């Protein structure tokens, strides 16, 4: 049964923001500009909640709750998917270890990106690469840091690298070059054919803190879209979700000055 929305107490926000060590120069200079324009009227009126009750987030219209009690995933708190099971919205918690807190005190919000990516890379070693580096920004006065990563070489096949014949290094035939974290691969465009697609899953993650805990919201592509524009729509959808977050630490105007 879905829980109804209850406002996060103002006292919690005050406690989160006063003297928060993560508000370094980069955080104080964060601009109130989202990396992507949020989609309009894309969210349900209901909220999903963290188990601790310190975070509330609206999820996309028509999306379905996934019962993860029978398929527990480490650090994952809530999962919603679209009816086609092509995309998932994931709320997860980053364990607030002493090491992570020291990193946050030293590096600010960027430390959350490093921790998040390391946790994912450990599960898919050699298959992930960051496709958009960390960006710190504010939404409704709340502080976020985001990044994007892709699954490297997903649903492709390698074709032998051609012999170098000219100054361009690719001879006279048309080729497609795919750049990834593990190097590059060259594809004969004619052999791949006009109906072949480089299907790649692109995922976006937004991280934030309540002061006491660290969380991430991720829009995960469960199946790779056939159109690159679909990635952007997914990223815009996540920004709509981010704009609905309640409980994230706010940037104090006095601190910004």
Q: Where in the chain are the domains?
A: 10-150+206-256, 156-198
User: Does position 88 have pLDDT exceeding 90, yes or no?
Assistant: yes
Tell which residue, 214, 217, 216, 221, has the closest CA to residue 241: 217
Q: Would you say residue 43 has pLDDT above 60?
A: yes
Predicted confidence (pLDDT) per residue in 166-178, tens digit: 344 444 444 444 4
Quote the tokens at residue 221: 């592509």
Give CA–CA dist 172/10, Å, rounded. Answer: 66
Q: Per-residue pLDDT averaged across 180-186, rounded?
A: 43
Quickly list H helices, 80-211.
98-107, 110-123, 189-192
Mean per-residue pLDDT for 247-253? 82
Between CA 40 and CA 220 the distance in angstroms is 20
CA angle 25/94/29 to nearest 5° reads 15
Cβ burial 179-196 (10 Å sphere, 16+ → b, else e): ebeeeebbbeeeebeeee
Q: Taking 50 as the threshold, does the pLDDT of residue 120 lie above it? A: yes
Give yes or no for residue 101 having a pLDDT over 70. yes
Burial class (CB in 10 A: 0-12, 13-18, 19+), 48: buried
For residues 184-201, average pLDDT:
49
Measured between alpha carbons, how far is 6 from 190 in angstroms, rounded to an integer? 57
pTM (2 d.p.): 0.73
Residue 70 has pLDDT above 80, yes or no: yes
Q: What is the largest CA-CA distance in the chain?
A: 69
For residues 128 and 7, which has the higher predicted lDDT (pLDDT)? 128
CB 104 within 8 A of CB 94: no
Query: Would you place residue 252 in the very low, low, confident or very high pLDDT band (cuts 50, 70, 90)?
Result: low
Q: What would the mean pLDDT of 31-36 be, rounded to a whole number? A: 77
Q: How far apart are CA 78 and CA 107, in angstroms?
A: 28
C-beta of residue 35 within 8 angstroms of C-beta of residue 135: yes
Fold that domain 10-150+206-256 belongs to in CATH? Protein Transport Mog1p; Chain A (3.40.1000)
Distance of CA 227 to the CA centre of its chain: 19
Q: How far apart are CA 245 and CA 48, in angstroms?
A: 10
- Sheet (strand 128-139) strand order: 64-65, 76-81, 87-94, 214-221, 202-209, 142-151, 128-139
Q: At what angle do helices 98-107 and 110-123 cross, to 10 degrees?
A: 130
80 has pLDDT over 90: yes
Q: Is the pLDDT of residue 4 over 80?
A: no
Look up residue 87 and give its two tokens: 């995309």
Q: Give the containing element (helix H, strand E) for 197.
A: none
Distance CA 175, CA 158 (A): 12
Q: Is the sign of the CA dihedral 237, 243, 245, 251 positive or negative?
A: positive
Res 13: pLDDT: 32
Give the model's confidence band at 225: pLDDT under 50 very low, under 70 low, under 90 confident, else very high. Answer: confident
Residue 116 pLDDT > 60: yes
Average pLDDT, the chain: 76
Residue 196 has pLDDT above 90, yes or no: no
Lowest mean pLDDT among 122-136, 144-158, 238-252: 144-158
- Considering only residues 188 and 52, tell me which one the structure prediction assigns the higher pLDDT: 52
């Amino acid at each position: 049964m879905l829980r109804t929305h209850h406002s996060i107490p103002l006292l919690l926000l005050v406690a989160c923001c006063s003297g928060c060590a993560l508000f370094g120069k980069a955080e104080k200079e964060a601009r109130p500009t989202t990396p992507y324009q949020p989609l309009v009227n894309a969210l349900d009126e209901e909220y999903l909640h963290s188990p601790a009750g310190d975070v509330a987030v609206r999820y996309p219209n028509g999306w379905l709750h996934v019962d993860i009690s029978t398929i527990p995933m480490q650090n994952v708190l809530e999962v919603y998917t679209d009816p086609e099971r092509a995309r998932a919205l994931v709320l997860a918690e980053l364990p607030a270890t002493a090491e992570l807190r020291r990193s946050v005190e030293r590096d600010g919000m960027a430390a959350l990106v490093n921790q998040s990516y390391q946790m994912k890379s450990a599960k898919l070693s050699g298959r992930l690469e960051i496709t958009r580096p960390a960006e710190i920004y504010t939404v409704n006065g709340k502080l976020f840091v985001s990044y994007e990563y892709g699954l490297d070489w997903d649903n492709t096949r390698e074709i032998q690298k051609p012999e170098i014949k000219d100054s361009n290094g690719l001879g006279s035939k048309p080729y497609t070059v795919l750049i990834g974290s593990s190097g590059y691969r060259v594809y004969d465009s004619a052999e791949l054919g006009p109906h072949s697609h480089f299907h790649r899953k692109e995922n976006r993650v937004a991280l934030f803190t309540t002061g006491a805990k660290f969380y991430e919201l991720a829009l995960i592509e469960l199946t790779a879209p056939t159109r690159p524009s679909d990635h952007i729509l997914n990223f815009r959808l996540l920004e709509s979700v981010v704009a609905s977050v309640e409980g994230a630490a706010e940037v104090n105007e006095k601190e910004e000055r």
